[in-house]
Amino acid sequence: MNKSSPPDVDLVIGLCYNLFKLIRNRYMKGVVIINSEMILIDSIKELELSVTQYMRIKSSYDALSEELKKNDTEVEVYTQGSILLGTTIRPYRKNKNVEYDVDLVAQYPKDKSTLLPQQVRDYVGNTFKQNGTYASKLLEKKRCWRIEYAEQEGLGFHADIVPAIPESQIEIQKILTKPGFEYLADLSVAITHKDDDDSRAEWLSCNPKGYGEWFSLIKSEKYRTMIEQKRSTIYMENKDLFSNIDEVPIQLVKTPMQRVIQLLKRHRDVYFSGKKSEDDKPISIIITTLAAEIVDTLNLQQLGFVDLLAEVTRALIEVERLIDNKLYTSYQIRSLIYRKESEWWIPNPVNINENFADKWNDNINIPRAFFDWLKALERDIIDNINDKNFHKILCEKLAVPCKDSSENEESIISVSSNTSSKPWSRHGK
């Protein structure tokens, strides 16, 4: 840079004005501001399961669980993936919204040494094949059985049921986790994998419950009070559905951490939709893991949605720069994505020898697509947050119908716990 050149006056004025806006937005929230936080959250709400939709899905998988219990009373059916984490967002492929995936595990308390993988697959498969209602909707996949549900009132979904048994003690002993999460290894399960009808099913190790625990620990550490507050709001709004607050599924409570993940996933889907690289788009578990790891490293508590989104995006972009930095060697201070013997690595926090970026090493277009997407994310969302057309831009980038904002003519005052005072009275009970 040429040190002797005079500072650009327009640039300085522009910076001062932005600084002024920043300060005003931060400290004078009492003044009328329709803020970007509200616009972002409203858009995501359009794209997520409503309380009733969630409860309808829940009753469907409760019915599946009942059915499996008829054959084996000891089976435990639980959710995994985005339904468990509360990060579900309407999937979007080939330029249209598609049905939701509901991922379930059916775990039988059996001894691994006495069983073949195929037998465990059959526990689930045979139960549904014998049942008239499910047999026609049943489909065998590599690792699961899929049941298709007919679309009802705009809600289409399928349930993927993964047959599983507890992992053997020998295997559990070998599992390494991120420091501090060693006890979660005990929750590991053995699942089955079968490439096609002719090949033999094999065992695979995974830990969906442990992963869920890890995620939920980070979430509740940062957002404990907010979770309680929101849960009681959901309860009070849906007293017809829940008889007490404990019945409100924790997955319905969305912290900014989950919202950020929902937004990233949706933006990814829309960004890659119709592109040649659509098959190379980053998988959700990578986005979820990286975002949660970043939230975990932030020292700030209860960060709001916009601030958190900016932090996470910035950190993700920073990751690319750090990848080949040899200074980061031990797990604790290693970059979130790193290379080991020229292989890409994004370890599973509850089993660090499992590599979520496995496929990146077979196809160089996958990491390329990931880093291209991050740049697009910054350009499309972060750079436009203060734009006066933010609402319009966001609708386009997330592929949501842009509602006419005439209802927004009402001046909306944004309030939060630190901008409001508490009423008091001299007398009373």
Partner 1 sequence: MVSRLINSVEDWISSLNNSTLIIEDKRSEITVSGRIRVAYYYEGLEDKLSDEFNIKIHIYKDYPLTIPDIEELDGKIPKEFHMNDIFFCLGVPLEMLMYAKNHSIEQFLNRYLNSYLMSFMYYYKYGICPYGDRSHGSHGKLEHLKEYFQEQNDRMVFKLLKLTINEKVGRNEKCVCGSGKKYKRCHLNTIENLKMSIDKKELVSTYEELIRFVKNKNTA
Q: Closest CB to partner 1 among 3 and 26?
A: 26
CB of 231 to partner 1, least distance (A): 11
Q: Closest CB to partner 1 among 52 and 419?
A: 419
CB of 150 to partner 1, least distance (A): 32
Helix 305-322 vs helix 256-272: crossing angle, to nearest 10: 60
Q: Name 103's bridge partners.
A: 80, 160
CB of 304 to partner 1, least distance (A): 7
Q: Which backbone phi and psi does 355 adopt, to 5 degrees?
A: -105, 110
Q: Closest CB to partner 1 among 152 and 416?
A: 416
Q: Would you say 229 and 223 are in contact if contact means Cβ atoms under 8 Å apart?
A: no
Would you call 400 helix, strand, or coil by DSSP?
coil
Are β-strands 202-206 and 189-193 bridged in parallel, bridged antiparallel, or unpaired? antiparallel
CB of 38 to partner 1, least distance (A): 5
CB within 8 Å of 246: residues ≥ 6 apart: none
Question: What is the widest separation between alpha-carbon atoms in the chain?
Answer: 83
What's the CA gap between 200 and 116, in Å, rounded?
A: 10
- Residue 93, judged by CB atoms within 10 A of its CB (0-12, 13-18, 19+), counts as middle
Would you call 190 helix, strand, or coil by DSSP?
strand
Q: Would you say 90 and 99 are in contact if contact means Cβ atoms under 8 Å apart?
A: no
Q: Closest CB to partner 1 among 131 and 414?
A: 414
CB of 251 to partner 1, least distance (A): 16
CB of 269 to partner 1, least distance (A): 23
Q: Closest CB to partner 1 among 342 and 425?
A: 425
Residue spans of beta strands (DSSP E) within 261-386: 338-340, 343-345, 347-348, 351-355
CB of 364 to partner 1, least distance (A): 41
Q: Would you say 47 and 400 are in contact if contact means Cβ atoms under 8 Å apart?
A: yes
Would you call 428 helix, strand, or coil by DSSP?
coil
Q: Closest CB to partner 1 among 118 and 302?
A: 302
Q: Closest CB to partner 1 among 31 and 135?
A: 31
CB atoms inside a 10 Å sphere around CB 383: 11
CB of 44 to partner 1, least distance (A): 10
Closest to 265 in 3D by CA, of 120, 377, 124: 377
State the residues that interact with partner 1 by CB under 8 A. Answer: 30-32, 35, 37-38, 41, 45, 226, 229-230, 232-233, 236-237, 254, 302, 304, 409-417, 419-429
Q: Closest CB to partner 1 among 259 and 267?
A: 259
Are β-strands 100-107 and 76-80 bridged in parallel, bridged antiparallel, or unpaired? antiparallel
Q: Closest CB to partner 1 among 96 and 427?
A: 427
CB of 41 to partner 1, least distance (A): 5
Q: Would you say 162 and 79 are in contact if contact means Cβ atoms under 8 Å apart?
A: no
What's the CA gap between 415 and 420, in Å, rounded?
A: 7
Residue with tokens 């003690």: 169
Q: Closest CB to partner 1 among 52 and 225?
A: 225
CB of 226 to partner 1, least distance (A): 6
